[in-house]
Amino acid sequence: MVKMLFKTILAAIATAELVSAVPVALPELFKRNITYTSGGDKLRGVNIGGWLVLEPWITPSIFQNVDQSLGIVDEFTLCQKLPYGASSILKNHWDNWATYSDFAKIKSAGFNLVRIPIGFWAYDNADTPFVQGAADYLDAAIDWSRQLGLKVIVDLHGAPGSQNGFDNSGQVMDSPRWMEDGGFQGGSSQRTLNIISIISQRYAQSSYDDVILGIELVNEPRGWTDGTSQDDLRKFYAEGFNRVRHSGATSVVMHDAFLHPASYNEFMTPEAPIMDHHYYQVFEDGLLYKTPQQHRQFACESATLYQNADKPVIIGEWTGAMTDCTPHLNGYNKGSRYEVMLYLKTSEEAERKKKKKFRHQEEEEEEEEEEAATVGPTPQIRRVHSSKSKTTVAIGDSSQDRFTNDLLEARENYLQSEAITEDWARAHTKQCYSQRTTRLREKASPDNRKMRGPNPHEIGTKEWMEEFDRRMGLKLPPLQDRPPEQEVPGETYKDWYDREGCKTEWDPLGFCMVEPDIGELAGSE
């Protein structure tokens, strides 16, 4: 696991890469200190995420340090619920989250591009609670980038009415509303275009040609449904392109609206805008159970698909994460898709087993009824009904039966409410984390192959933690692929992780595949 060097990389999860519409020879993979040229070098960049547009999963402390009863879940509600305090909170954040020093580290690490998200309210916050001030920090960041030789993509990350309903647009909504008031001709769409004009009039000028690589018209619009038609979106893109080019020759970047870059083939092809595709393997249910090898293969196969596009393509956001277990990634104080799938899978399996057991019990009851005169009354069976599944299961007296009942109730409660406590989020991050222990990817020791991870149903319980601590207290076996110099007589798994963490490639229990800190988890009670 590569240790992230600074907070902007942790926050960003995005390297941008220019992909030609026609296959060409690529430069050396890890070439450093490169500069961008339109016909040659690959772009390697970092998103300055969570800075000028808040996202709870990137900057959780801002949301955790306010009164939780206020229901603050995004930048909009932060400014709305704290009309007298939001300004100081945001200014402190803007002053400290990203600095010249961070940009210098980005440059020294070999990157040549930063993508900087900013919200519409930085330029026009009329009829909203949003606090202004971020535009000055964007100016500062562009100045730092110019001094360091970095290129910049200015990314309009939030549009009036929200282009996707996600917290990364500034305001959480059930569905995007930026085109609900008349589509492309509506007030919100036209207001967004006016913001693009303001940004372009400043940064598309020739005086910025040495630093501004492009202007992204809007980040991640949901363009396939939810009141945003492809026809309206394409009209918006065409007009947005014209607004930028009216001010200068700066490249225009257009997100593919969660479709595929090739979906826009023959649309504005002569104008050659850059298509932006965001690559995550955690937001689709079918991707969450892939093995690391399958994730790598999927990424390699996907790379060839971008060459089918008739325009240049950048991968403006991507991640190596294999679960969506990071707290708040799916919204503040909400659980993950991974956990929902686990609940569904385990509860459905429990229901199948119980239904089978129930059938056997019914058969036994029939036999007992025939002998009732001699053996006494038939035992009563307590039944629990699951309102979601409409199935009936029999619950006996064993601890496993009681747990199955609790699991079904937990599933019911989870599906009925999206409001999940911070304690729940922390506990279930551990649950996601523990799935790696059930696979135990050691390659040699028979003893290790026999080991199994703690029962995932019992994550967070006293029994589970005792089993976890017992596991961590086992002595490390002499694995064949373990470097001899790393062996310490009598060393336990916990000793290893406390000492080495994830600094080496050898990872006996697979803990370095996910986010939580092993020392913190191993010491939990």
The one catalytic residue in 75, 216, 220, 351 is: 220
Helix (H, G, I), strand (E, B) or coil at 315: strand
Q: Which position has the token pair 């009563």?
A: 380
Which amino acid, one-letter code, is at 476? Answer: L
- How many other C-beta atoms lie within 10 A of the C-beta of residue 340? 16
371 has catalytic annotation: no
Q: What are phi and psi of 153, to 5 degrees?
A: -105, 120
Q: CB of 257 within 8 A of CB of 222?
A: yes
Q: What is the DSSP letter of 475?
A: B
Q: CB of 313 within 8 A of CB of 275?
A: yes
Alpha carbons 327 and 325: distance in angstroms, whole number: 6
Q: Which position has the token pair 């996202």?
A: 55
Give the containing element (helix H, strand E) for 416: helix 399-416
368 has catalytic annotation: no
Which amino acid, one-letter code, is at 396? Answer: G
Give the containing element (helix H, strand E) for 316: strand 313-318
Q: What is the DSSP letter of 169?
A: G
Residue 365 has which token pair? 């009851």
- How many other C-beta atoms lie within 10 A of the C-beta of residue 301? 9
Q: How many CA atoms lie within 13 A of 24 on its CB side?
A: 13
Q: What is the CA radius of gyration of the chain?
A: 27
The one catalytic residue in 55, 75, 216, 317 is: 317
**Catalytic positions, please?**
220, 317
